[in-house]
Amino acid sequence: MTGLIQVLGIIFGILLIAVGILESFFFRDQRFYRLFLIQPEDVAAVRMWTFNLGFYNMIWGVGAIIGALMLTGAEPAAGRTLLLFTAVGHVLLGIILVLSERRLWASAIAEALLPAVIVILLLL
Q: What is the pLDDT of residues 105-120, one digit of tens each?
A: 988 999 999 999 999 9
Question: What residue segments make up the domains of the chain, in order of their start?
Answer: 2-123
How far are the Cα atoms of 24, 54, 67, 87, 119 from residue 81, in angstroms, in the given order? 28, 23, 7, 10, 10
Q: What is the pLDDT of residue 42?
A: 81
| CB contact at 8 A, 16 and 58 | yes
Q: What is the pLDDT of residue 41?
A: 82
Q: What is the pLDDT of residues 59-77, one digit of tens each?
A: 999 999 999 999 999 999 9
Residues in the chain: 124
| CB contact at 8 A, 107 and 93 | no
**Which region holds residue 37: left if phi is over 0, alpha if psi is between -120 and 50, else beta?**
left
Q: What is the pLDDT of residue 69?
A: 97
CA 20 to chain centre: 8
Which residue ranges of the chain lie beneath pLDDT 50?
Answer: none
Q: What is the pLDDT of residue 43?
A: 81
| CA-wise closest residue to 111 among 57, 30, 41, 33 | 57
